[in-house]
Amino acid sequence: MLKPLEAAKAKERQLRKPADSVSQNSDDLNIRTDESVASKAGVSRDTVRKVEAIIVTVT
């Protein structure tokens, strides 16, 4: 699955960020994990969320 890989990358970016830095809305690294997964899968982030909800319900 793509989400664990993207989540790990996001966590790594958070750890590299200085504690006293201010978040910017225009920050290029401010990417949502679900948007990244959706982009790679060629679907919308809502579709990714729906699939995740189905997986959670089934398991």
Q: What is the pLDDT along the chain (59 residues), one digit of tens a residue?
A: 778 888 888 888 777 766 666 566 555 555 688 888 898 899 999 999 999 899 999 98
pTM over 0.85, yes/no: no
Q: How far is 50 from 42, CA to CA, in rounded Å?
A: 15
Phi, psi dihedral angles at 48 (to 5 degrees): -60, -45
Mind giving me the DSSP string for 1-47?
A: -HHHHHHHHHHHHHHHS-TTPPP-TT-TT---HHHHHHHHHTS-HHH
Mean pLDDT for the chain? 79
Dihedral sign computed on CA atoms, order 40, 41, 45, 49:
negative
DSSP 26: T
pLDDT digits (tens, 9 = 90+) for 23-37: 665 555 556 888 888
